[in-house]
Amino acid sequence: MAYWNQEIETMDPARLRALQSERLVKLVHYVYENSPFYKKLFDEKGIKPDDIKSIDDIQKLPFTFKKDLRDTYPTGMFCVKNTDLVRIHASSGTTGKPIVVGYTQNDIDNWAESLARGFTSVGLDQDDILQVSYGYGLFTGGLGAHYGSERIGATTIPTSSGNTERQLSLMEDLGVTAVLCTPSYFSYLIEVAEKEGRSLKNNKSLRVGIFGAEPWSESLRHRIEERSGIKAYDVFGTSELSGPLFTECPEQKGMHVWADMFIVEILNPDTMEPVKDGETGELVVTTLLKEALPLIRYRIGDLASVETGVCPCGRTHPRLMRLKGRSDDMIIVRGINVFPGQVESVLMKIPEVSPHFMIIIERNGELDDMTVQVELNDMSSDKVDDYNKLIARISHDLRTVLTLSASIELVNPGTIPRSEGKAKRVIDKRKF
């Protein structure tokens, strides 16, 4: 097992916790002295930096919300002078007004370190060739992955997203060994490659994919691995915390959250009390080392679970399990909570179905109607009965998982719009 930073990655859990305590205490003083926002917040809540003596006191600290970043747009929460910034990014704005985030040189270095650990853990090193097909620009995916790749000394190909045919040619011509992009975009790359008769399965160099920026299911992982012959790993991040940060190790059972840099808490959304190890709740993160935009108990808005305990890979840092989706992604249909990821996980177990689908919610009188447009890999059969059987199977499997009936509409291959970044899975007509 290769490590990028073995001492830290396998640090004794008690020592790691002590390091977190030490860094949290420093952080609390740092934000109080450097951020008018946090000074005001602490004063309002009657909290003094000296009240925080160790990580055991973390629950005394107030939460930070996405709204705080929006209200202080663009740089009102930054803790450094503009002259100390070396880079600015902005979130993709999926859920509203974009958020601006800034970095000092140390912030950029720690971000690259975080990814370097993850990339090394999945067996990548200076001999590898990484194609970064996340978008470059204000979105943190492209440049974040780029710096991580350069940090391990790999050859980095900054294709950014889009221009799918050229992506595929470069991949073959340059002997790319790993690709980074959204899982939905990689599904599209697989599809285009197959259509052109150059299935990724025949590509002998490509062996690793690191996919994230959107929720995806275990079934989609199996589908991707089977159809491309690579190992597919999950990566999580969000602009506010830096960008892509935490990667799965070869165990493929959760993404290691680097505890020397971040404290994760999973809280019951109703009581805001910690849940038990492995239970789902709201993901709350405190950044321990960030200088430009440190965040205290930041409520990202994602539902997640974390497992502590030493991983079979030897790393002692907690693992963030596959995300269900952000709370904003959840749609409530006839009072039942539905995540697009649940639909994906059902569909990806059915071989005739492509990874592209769309959920449409409409209001019919007093009732919500949910339709799932399911794209087939092939619709050339003229046996109506085959299609009816397929519809019955999809309806049944969806009803079992969602406890809700949905109408199924089969559509021709290529009908659902493809995405180069984050896929759009829901059209909710009730809001209009």
Residues in touch with Zn ion (CB under 5 A): 249, 251, 311, 313, 315
Q: For residues 33 and 251, which CB has a smaller minimum distance to ligand ADP in the complex?
A: 251
Q: For residues 260 and 421, which CB has a smaller minimum distance to ligand ADP in the complex?
A: 421
Least distance in angstroms from the C-beta of 214 to ligand ADP: 5
Report d(CA 185, CA 311) in Å as an integer: 30
Q: Are residues 131 and 159 in contact, defined by beta-carbon separation less than 8 angstroms?
A: yes
Token look-up 């949905």 returns 406
Measured N-to-C along each axis, helices 183-195 and 218-228 cross at an angle, to the nearest 10 degrees, of 30
Cα separations (Å) of 100 from 3, 142, 147, 240, 258?
Answer: 33, 16, 19, 8, 23
Q: Residues in contact with ligand ADP, total (CB under 6 A)? A: 19
Report d(CA 256, CA 236) in Å as an integer: 10
Contact range with ligand ADP by CB under 6 A, out of 93-101, 128-136, 273-281, 351-359:
93-101
Q: For residues 52 and 99, which CB has a smaller minimum distance to ligand ADP in the complex?
A: 99
Residue 249 contacts which entry, ligand ADP, Zn ion, none (Cβ below 5-8 A, type-dependent): Zn ion
Question: Pairing mode, if any, of strands 231-238 and 208-212?
Answer: parallel
Asked if 135 touches ligand ADP (CB under 6 A), the answer is no
| Of 75, 95, 405, 415, the one binding ligand ADP by CB under 6 A | 95
Measured N-to-C along each axis, helices 183-195 and 164-173 cross at an angle, to the nearest 10 degrees, of 80
Residue 118 contacts which entry, ligand ADP, Zn ion, none (Cβ below 5-8 A, type-dependent): none
Single-letter code of the amino acid located at 267: L
Least distance in angstroms from the C-beta of 217 to ligand ADP: 10
Residues 243-302 close enough to bind ligand ADP by CB under 6 A:
300, 302
Residue 323 contacts which entry, Zn ion, ligand ADP, none (Cβ below 5-8 A, type-dependent): ligand ADP
Question: Pairing mode, if any, of strands 281-287 and 262-267?
Answer: antiparallel
Asked if 93 touches ligand ADP (CB under 6 A), the answer is yes
Q: For residues 31 and 235, which CB has a smaller minimum distance to ligand ADP in the complex?
A: 235
Q: Are residues 64 and 99 in contact, defined by beta-carbon separation less than 8 angstroms?
A: no
Least distance in angstroms from the C-beta of 252 to Zn ion: 9
In the DSSP assignment, the letter for residue 266 is: E
Residue 94 contacts which entry, ligand ADP, Zn ion, none (Cβ below 5-8 A, type-dependent): ligand ADP
Question: Which stretches within 35-151 are classed as H helix?
Answer: 36-45, 66-71, 105-121, 140-151
Residues 202-241 close enough to bind ligand ADP by CB under 6 A:
212-215, 234-239
Name the residue number minimizing CB distance to ligand ADP. 94
First-to-last C-alpha distance (Å) of the chain: 53
Least distance in angstroms from the C-beta of 378 to ligand ADP: 29
Asked if 344 touches ligand ADP (CB under 6 A), the answer is no
Both tokens of residue 169? 């040619």
Report d(CA 193, CA 175) in Å as an integer: 15
Which residues form the interface with ligand ADP (CB under 6 A)?
91-95, 212-215, 234-239, 300, 302, 323, 326
